[in-house]
Amino acid sequence: MLDVFKTSKNRNEKKEIVLDKDNIPKHVAIIMDGNGRWAKKRKLPRTVGHKAGVETIRRVIKEAHILGIKFLTLYAFSTENWKRPDDEVSALMKLLVEYLRSELAELNRNGVVIKILGDITKLPIDAQKEVLNAIEITKNNTGVVLNIAFNYGGRDEIIRAVKLISKEVEDGNISVSDINEGLLEKYLYTSNIPDPDLIIRPSGEQRISNFLLWQCAYSEFWYSNVCWPDFKEEHLRKAIYDYQHRDRRYGGV
Ligand code: FPP
């Protein structure tokens, strides 16, 4: 057993939750939702909500390290998020740059490997540079693999893979009969990354929003009503506790 932590409904009643250290999900993926609503409730601009969301990212990465989660994927910007007002899109690009500039040294010290899922060629040049630099600097680390899904869409990822495979067929490198699940996975952004065991979505929404569509085939889902800026270590632990009490059958009995 890994640890004991206490949650309380009221001060007098504490409930102990014990996590099984032998059944920590290897890959946890999170849809970081609710920044806008968090800000609106406080009569603040949406971008302040995204900034507050970055604080949660810091907490969650540290906790993932403590718990022994090997892969952590954070959905930060979807292929559909370009539809948001220009100032919000720019603020999100800026936050990515600021985050990498301010956190890279510490992430690197802690052995974090940074990967990006998504098409970064559409990002502003400074963001592309920061991202490539972070990937390069952390590539030989052996700690938590942090996948930042940025300009990521599940459908886009599958279409990209299909195009790349079609090109291989066209060039005569493979034949149609070589195409199977294993081959397709090699052409996804998540090549060499195991499928997520657990997908978390805070903020009360219960949909997948074009996130890891191929990879979520057998993922467990966990929802919470708290908005992402209010998401704390204890929510991650509760999600894992619930995950550990599910029966994963992968289509078997
Ligand atoms: C969804 O909440 C959140 C996003 C689209 C952006 C998430 C980005 C960050 C937390 C920070 C930037 C990323 C990095 C890696 C530094 P929403 O705005 O849709 O919330 P709402 O549904 O309440 O409006």
User: Annotated catalytic sites, by residue?
Assistant: 33, 81
Going by CATH, does the domain composed of 2-244 fall within 3.40.1180.10?
A: yes
The string of pLDDT tens digits covering residues 176-187 is 999 999 999 999
From the CA of 85, how far away is ligand 1's center (Å)?
13
Pocket residue to mutate for ligand 1, from 31, 33, 40, most atoms within 8 A of Cβ: 33
Share of the chain above pLDDT 70, in %: 94
Pocket residue to mutate for ligand 1, from 32, 151, 200, most atoms within 8 A of Cβ: 32
Write the CA distances from 150 to 30, 109, 127, 202, 225, integer angstroms.
13, 23, 11, 18, 24
The string of pLDDT tens digits covering residues 38-54 is 999 999 999 999 999 99
- The Cα–Cα gap between 132 and 177 comes to 35
The string of pLDDT tens digits covering residues 26-37 is 999 999 999 999
- The Cα–Cα gap between 235 and 224 comes to 8
pLDDT of 68: 98
Position in ligand 1 atom list of the atom nearest CA 51: 11
H-run or E-run covering 78: strand 71-78
Residue ranges per structural domain of the chain: 2-244
pLDDT of 5: 47
By 3-state DSSP, what share of the chain in percent is helix, strand and coil, each rounded to 5? Answer: 50, 20, 35
